[in-house]
Amino acid sequence: MSGETVFKLQRVESRVGPIALVTLDNGEDHTKPTTLGRSAIESALALLDVLESGDWAAMVLTGKPFVFCAGADIDELARIASPEDAIEGSRAGHAVFSRIRALPYPTVAAINGACLGGGLELALHCDARTIAGSVRHLGFPEVALSIIPGWGGTQLTPRLAGPEAAVRLIVTNPLRQNRLIGAREAVELGLADRLLEPVEFVDESLAFAVELVERGGIERPQPDWSDAETIFRKARARVDDAVHGATRAPYVALDLIAGARDWTLEEGYAAEEQALGELATSPQARAAAYAFTVVERRTKKAEGVPDVQPRAVKKVGIVGAGLMATQLATLFLRRLEVPLVLRDVEQSRVDEALATIREEVGARKPFLATLVDGGTGWEQFAGCDLVLEAVFEELDVKREVLAAAREVAPEAILATNTSSLSVEAMGADVGLHFFNPVAVLPLVEVVRTSRTTDEQLATAFDVVRKLGKRGVLVRDAPAFVVNRILTRMTTVLMDALEHGNTVEETDQAVLSLGLPMAPSVLLQMVGPRVANHVLETLHAAYPDRFPLSPTLAAYAEGRDEIVVREEARKTVAEIREAVLEAIADEVRRLLDEGVVSAATDVDACLILGAGYPFHLGGITKHLDETGVSERVVGSPLADYRPAAAV
């Protein structure tokens, strides 16, 4: 049945005897990855009966085009009803994978594409692994979902790659916006044994299996546990900073990884089973499953994106040569691999940016460094299909550079990376608001104006997808979604400071929600000048809700000064409630204005663009479940109908 993963067996003759070539396939294209649900486990059991009884010399396990295996079926995880169900699911996976590990001949996982969670655990149960150089998505996302790898990942990874690599892959990467690794890093860490080109990948993997048969297996160095105590102590500190104790999963994962040093594999499996039983039905895991589903549904096929053919983008122009422009140019080159030109008013800034970009992209693909050029003139933008401006946030400047680009590239789609200004007022065709740091945060707010054509919008989303980002469609409105919500929160916190509360108290009010960083840290990361500029933009549009802050203005001028207007201190709990009520009110207004089409768009934006943690399940879900939405809006935000629709 299409959609259900099966293990397909093909017999391949070789000079050492027949090789079992097994392919995981669900009958769908690469946009619907193979997963490991109940039907896949049943298919694997039937396959193992054949593999254990034949005259096989080796086995090579691979995936359908572009995908090895995306891991456990998230829908089945969400349906786990009891700890016993979770334990049984973990035990069933261990039983199947252990039989693969025990096959009496060499086994090779040929990782041809995305390899996540249970898919990576499946690969680790093979004797060796090849990996295609094109693979970009390999890792363990489970901790981000408030569970742990439950099919051997916490035990086999440290045994293979050592405790430091295991901690990074299983614990810290998921807490860093679910960071994944690529093929080269997998080889460097020791997770994969041979890096192969995608062309002839399966044939080369079969040849590698023959090689293993002829030389009697593969030898690896023993992992180094000598600095384990320091590794785990530092990891716990990083986890504390990231989740503040709001979810147990990363702490449990660290304990399981540490246990791998002394436990037998069977003891480690048993510990994983019990841990998954405890975590899988927790409120945090339920919330994370909801958040994951929201992100997938709202960004895989964003509502409102026209079903028209996108324009081919064969040349890109970027206006600006500052930090953001340099990050964007690097991303576009790496992902699109098309000619790119950079323009700024000073050649020295262009030269500095070009040097950084060429060093970044040329390290692994030298030819990419030859695709980028730049200067101070506009003529280089001739022939561009897409021009993206990334100059400083001043409307007149943005309007001027976009008009100049239009003169030399009249057919190009003109896009802006503005964080708060009107896309239409500056003359851009579409907004592409990336978040800093570009390499880490996956969100792009794709901004449609009254003049954006269907082709322009479809092209914008196509480019975002090719860049490996997640796009959410928003209407042109001051500060769009993420910055508008965060600035509304900031006004509450600044008001508390200006009435006598301390920075420590305002930080604690927000950190108690489980957010990844304190507001004071976020302010320094964004920059007080930028934050104050966004506030000024929103104040001009909505003065009642976004009052100017003398304290933020002082910060923007470089003065570390809190301007106390009057003493009227609040408790931390009162500040937290004021923040939540302000956010609920602002979400309602975003819906009323049609900036987003559903409350879940706000959830997706804050998760992907502000690091709102999966284990809280999305801000609107939290507001609904705590009664804040009912109190402020009059109904749960999930049920709210905008005023214009009533």
140-to-83, 143, 153, 171 alpha-carbon distances in Å: 21, 8, 8, 8
CB 614 within 8 A of CB 288: yes
Residues 482 and 609 sit within 8 Å (Cβ to Cβ): yes
The beta-strand segments (E) located in 391-450 are 413-416, 430-434, 443-448
User: Is residue 472 within 8 Å of residue 446, measured between CB atoms?
Assistant: yes
Residue 10 three-state SS: strand
Do residues 606 and 621 make contact, with C-beta atoms less than 8 angstroms apart?
no
Token readout for 514 is 């489980």
- Whether 616 and 246 have beta carbons less than 8 Å apart is answered as yes
Question: Are 357 and 429 contacting, i.e. CB atoms less than 8 angstroms apart?
Answer: no
Q: How far apart are CA 502 and CA 521, in angstroms?
A: 14
Q: Two tokens at 592?
A: 């009323």
Q: Which amino acid, 375?
A: G
End-to-end CA distance of the chain: 43
Residues 6+ apart with CB under 8 A from 148: 142, 154, 170, 249, 252, 253, 256, 272, 275, 276, 279
What backbone phi and psi angles, to 5 degrees, belong to 365?
-130, 90
Q: In terms of residues, how long is the chain?
A: 646
Active site members: 121, 142
| Cα(50)–Cα(43) distance, integer angstroms | 11
Taking the C-alpha atoms of residue 178 and residue 323, their distance in angstroms, rounded to an integer, is 24
Q: If residue 20 lies in a helix (H) or strand (E), which one and from where to where?
A: strand 19-25
What is the rounded CA–CA span in Å between residue 162 and residue 189? 9
**Spatial CA neighbour of 371 closest among 329, 433, 312:** 329
Strand partners, 22: 9, 61
